[in-house]
Amino acid sequence: MQLYNTLSAEERAIMIDDAGKQRLTLSFYAYAKIQDPKKFRDDLFLAWNALDALGRIYVANEGINAQMSIPEENLEAFRATLEVYDFMKGIRLNEAVEHDDHSFLKLTIKVRDKIVADGLNDETFDVTDIGVHLKAKEFNEILDDPNTIVVDFRNHYESEVGHFKGAITPDVETFRESLPIINDQLQNHKEDKNLVMYCTGGIRCEKASAYFKHQGFKNVFQLEGGIINYAKQIEAEGLESKFIGKNFVFDNRLGERITDDIISQCHQCGKPCDNHTNCENDGCHLLFIQCDECKAAMENCCSTECLEVIHMPLVDQVRLRTGKQVGNKVFRKGKSDSLKFKHSGELPNTALGTTEKTVDIRQKIKVKKVLLGKAEHYYVKAQVGLFTIENHELNWGDTILISGPTTGNKELILEKMIVNEAEATTAKIGDRVTFEVPFRIRLSDKLYKIVN
């Protein structure tokens, strides 16, 4: 039985494009007693892999938390795989506000201690005694009540690009950090205020609302289905959006637009911007906000130090990060002295700019191609690129495509190449190939062969 991925993200992206089928991005969660999470995980993998479902899913003794991408035509078959389990019968599937066929490129199902890392001891309080669920209309109405305190239970890099007006937005990097901070901050309002909370899809509020009721808060409410469901409801019912900006999401999209307002700034130049990127330096991967101009100038890097690193030979880059501790100390979420325009904590409720309308963010099939390999180096003076061939063969006369976040998509016909330091007409898997490239390439660039 195949219980793991056999394709790389790049190969899967090509298959999605070649299939030409629209995909849905959706999320769901359920708290339930699962006796054997490992078997549950394996059963789900087999059922979902057969439906070409992709995503990031966590299962534990306490339930399931899933963010996924599935072919639109397989939606009902996917629902049927959920209906097998009593606790997921009729479960709400939060469909994304903006779909992207490449939102997920692997099916990853992991067994965890908890489906959300909250740092709580569930044995010390009733986790089923949750707050009152509010639909969008009810949520809007309670926000207008002067006795309401609304709290964003997401992290600083999420709330920075979008939040409900007037919300408390804790300056935290993890959900578990926000619980004691808010509890301490609101100690004097346990009985006289409405404690209203929200998060992306609702799962964090399920546990948080029970925790705050246990702490003595009398009037606890939560946004049903989170921001994702709220956005769907206000559109369907023609309601005012009290959420402003973009909803951060944990997939390749890194965000979906709720309103046209931009409330954050490029962390490097200060221009109104709410597009996140990860630093190109594999030893950093800092998540930060970067405008198109800075992205081009800095080549997706967060600092000049990282920009210098990505132009080093790969062996030197690996040496620099060898022995470094992984986790948030390396792969940080938007906190760095290099980011001059980073904001956290108390955030504005007014727009700094507005975004241009987009027609459709789905990936479109432009050309049929197969992945050959990746860029290793670019010799600026000679205008020569070095590539490693990882899949298929490359031949003299092939039409090739070099693609990357900064480079874009550049096609050219291969007229001459050096294979393992000797001129040749064919390069095979494992070969190192150099040839003239009349534009700068980056280490993140991929090399493809056009097959149509």
Which residues are part of the catalytic machinery? Answer: 199
Q: Which residues contact 103 (CB under 8 A, 6 or more apart)?
A: 23, 25, 69, 96, 251, 252, 253
Amino acid letter for position 451: V
Q: Which residues contact 293 (CB under 8 A, 6 or more apart)?
A: 269, 271
Pairing of β 287-289 and β 276-278: antiparallel
What does the chain come to in residues?
A: 452
Pairing of β 432-436 and β 418-419: antiparallel
Q: Which residues contact 156 (CB under 8 A, 6 or more apart)?
A: 169, 170, 171, 172, 173, 333, 334, 335, 344, 345
CA 162, CA 144: separation in Å to the nearest integer?
19
Is-contact 38 393, C-beta < 8 A? no
CA 84, CA 333: separation in Å to the nearest integer?
38
DSSP H helices, 50-191, are: 75-83, 136-143, 156-159, 175-185
Pairing of β 63-71 and β 287-289: unpaired
CA 233, CA 258: separation in Å to the nearest integer?
12
> Rounded to the nearest 10 degrees, what angle do helices 136-143 and 226-237 cross at?
100
Name the E strands within 322-393.
353-354, 369-379, 384-389
CA 421, CA 430: separation in Å to the nearest integer?
13
Is-contact 135 233, C-beta < 8 A? yes
